[in-house]
Amino acid sequence: MLKQRLQQKLLQKLSPQQIQLMKLLQVPTVMLEQRIKQEIEENPALEEGPDDQDEIEGNNETEFEDTYDEETGEDEFSEEPDHNPEDEFDLSDYMEDDEIPNYRLNVNNTSADDEQKDIPFSSGMSFQELLLSQLGLRKLNDREYLIASHIIGNIDEAGYLQRDIHSLIDDLAFNQNIQTDFKEVLHLLRLIQEFDPPGVGARDLQECLLLQIRRKTPKTKAIENATLLLEKNFNDFTRKHYEKIKKKHNLSDQELKEAIDKILKLNPKPGNSLHDSGKVSQYIVPDFIVTINEGELELTLNSRNAPDLRINRTYSEMLQAMAESKGKADKRQKEALSFVKQKLDSAKWFIDAIRQRQNTLLVTMEAILNYQREYFLTGDETKLKPMILKDIADIVNLDISTISRVANSKYVQTPYGTFLLKTFFSESLQTEKGEEVSTREVKKILQDCIKAEDKKKPLTDDELAAILKEKGYNIARRTVAKYREQLDIPVARLRKELL
């Protein structure tokens, strides 16, 4: 049964300007430059340069209602029989480009006999191409070359063979109609494993390391012991059961250490040696720069976050001329006027959003700087106070989500390094004396304890918890384990070393 009823609702909706500001606020400096360039390309009313005319802002407030004549009750832009479009300002000169057919913009003044010259560009060789080039240097018949090429095609970028030999045999039979056997595929795999870089074509980590250690020359005692470890005691080696290995092979501490040093110099991912060489270095562009001048902190915003933007004078004058014109406009000219006004409003909103972004960034960073003043003056992480998003939001009178957008994507350059802003936020922890300290301080102490431990007998999580308790931090063992994992520190067994 359908019913009609009258109902009132109170809804909170974001305006397009607010949505634009929120999106710009979470954009880092490098992406902000791209976003501004994109906006300038899409909006011809926006251009780079200092804003030297304040009267432009008033032009954007012109509305169509201003053309309404209260005495006659008629719209000055309304069409009349005696209307002559030639007597007024004509915007068709500015709009003709939108209606030019595509065929008028294309030029075809070449013939089939003309020489086509393409600009060459540099391109690196992929990992598979490197292996195939080495395969071409071997004496193989067509059948063997196809099988070996198929094997290479199943080697990943790290240098490992992703499929077992039996699956490769099935693939060759179904896809290329080549009947082969285990012995032939294994023989060609051994051939590929002789290629560079050493270790390529391995099926697991143990085989990868063995392929590399066997190609080491000269065959010293340390190389022989390293080969023995990888062949006979690989599981004990990965678990660092050094005492068991020494007893089994009657090795001294020095001999075991030399063998382990040889293994640690091997590359567990040989394919990445070529892949990493083609990577482009990534640099962090800080959004804020903090300096210390005569014992006082100084904060500056990266100049890339404060670009000079202004409204195009041509568009503003065009809108002003249309508004001051007493002539009559037809439907086409009204649409042109609407288009110009829309672009001007969009440009003004974007400039305002950029300015609000700058102000929000500065206000938020100044609050963080004052809150963590002792740390920024000394660089001592133990001076960091417990700080959450709500603390800064209450200081600057902004929403927590706004502070989160600023903290999650912005970097600050300090005399002690460049850090992500969110790393200064941490929860509080209460000591035995009732004082609240930052968890960052506890992590720093934990890191120092592990750094100073005896590497022959690393500290367990229980022992670390006991040390922290002696220092006044009452922390459970599982909390120590959580902090250790957040610091990317392995368990005690994996931190064991032979000195």
Residue 358 has pLDDT above 80, yes or no: yes
Enter the DSSP assignment of 467.
Answer: H
pLDDT value of position 141: 92
What would the two tokens of residue 24 be? 């710009």
pLDDT value of position 112: 56
What is the pTM (predicted TM-score) of this model? 0.54
Maximum CA extent, the chain:
113
Contacts of 409 (CB under 8 A, 6+ apart): 26, 27, 28
Helix axes 400-409, 16-25, angle to 10 degrees: 40
> Quick check: 287 and 55 in contact, CB under 8 A?
no
C-alpha distance from residue 151 to each of 138, 190, 198, 203, 268 (Å):
15, 11, 17, 12, 20
User: pLDDT of 121-169, one tens digit each?
Assistant: 445 577 888 899 999 899 999 999 999 999 999 999 889 998 999 999 9
Residue spans of the domains in the chain: they are: 127-276, 288-423, 428-495
14 pLDDT band (50/70/90 cuts)? low
How large a percentage of the chain has pLDDT more than 70?
77
Where is pLDDT greater, at 496 or 328? Answer: 496
- Which parts of 79-163 fold into alpha helices (H)? 92-95, 127-135, 142-153
Q: What are the percentages of helix, strand and coil residues in the chain, rounded to 5?
A: 55, 10, 40
pLDDT value of position 101: 54
Q: How far apart are the first and last CA of the chain?
A: 84
pLDDT value of position 230: 92
Of 56-70, 93-107, 417-431, the range with the lowest mean pLDDT is: 56-70
CATH code for the domain defined by 428-495:
1.10.10.60
pLDDT value of position 68: 40
User: pLDDT of 293-340, one tens digit each?
Assistant: 888 899 988 877 667 788 877 777 777 776 666 455 567 777 777 777
Q: Please give the distance of CA 12 from its chain centroid, rounded to a whole number.
A: 32
- Which parts of 61-141 fold into alpha helices (H)? 92-95, 127-135
pLDDT value of position 379: 86
- Rounded CA separation 323/338 (Å): 11
User: pLDDT of 185-234, one tens digit each?
Assistant: 999 999 999 999 899 999 999 999 999 999 988 889 999 999 999 999 99
What would the two tokens of residue 89 be? 């300002």
C-alpha distance from residue 497 to each of 225, 450, 487 (Å):
17, 13, 19
Q: Could you count the other beta carbons within 10 Å of the beta carbon of residue 85?
A: 15
